[in-house]
Amino acid sequence: MPDRTAKVVVITGASSGIGEATARRLAADGHRLFLGARRIDRLDRLVMEITATGGTAAARRLDVTEAADVQGLVTAAAERYGRVDVMVNNAGVMPLSPLDALRTKEWNRMIDVNVRGVLHGISAALPVMRAQGAGHIVNIASVGAHEVSPTAAVYCATKFAVRAISEGLRQESAGDVRVTLVSPGVTESELADGITDPAARAAMRTYRAAALPASAIADAVAYAISQPPQVDVNEIVVRPAASAQ
């Protein structure tokens, strides 16, 4: 039977898209949440909505590119709730462009958020989980962790890295910390809003014609963390049924 014990869950990038949908789903399942994102106004509204319907949530402004920020988020969650059971490293950016556009600032931003942000989440949560003898790290990647497409070389590289980091952590965890990689296909979110390259932006509009609701990815996270302690769901790939990609 699934493990339905209420857990303390920390979620990065929780102000919109997959992070927000995951917060709403896990709150409805009875878990206690600590949410982080840059847009604290949105987080505060989300916390109000969750608590108004009987859920438990708190929030803190977060920039995942700053290790001290992520450490502060996890520390605040542990101080408030007494433990941290699940860390959902969800924050990400996707400013696609062809390599010859030489948008190096955007490349560096993707590396900082998508890779360093995940590493910061792991480095903050792992000591807490090891000390309490159990925990679960969920990293949100992409189908771009499994395949590469034009304009997405750097984005896919960051998601390949998240996949490699997740597998390495799984192998090193020896059963005390579970690790799940969730790789969404095209999903309704604000990720595409950050695309500044005109051709890539136009291509993404076509690509997103068939998109999953963010709640579908939230359901995948909920499934993974609900399994009994002896079950470690390592990878979940979720694609729209109408899409071949």
Q: Which residues are catalytic?
A: 155
- Going by C-beta distance under 8 Å and a sequence separation of 6 or more, which residues neighbour residue 228? 1, 2, 3
Pairwise CA distance, residues 197 & 32, whole Å:
40
Under a CB-based contact definition with an 8 Å cutoff, are residues 67 and 46 in contact? no
Token match 């878990």: residue?
Answer: 31
Residue 237 in 3-state DSSP? strand
Under a CB-based contact definition with an 8 Å cutoff, are residues 144 and 186 in contact? no
Pairwise CA distance, residues 88 & 128, whole Å:
14
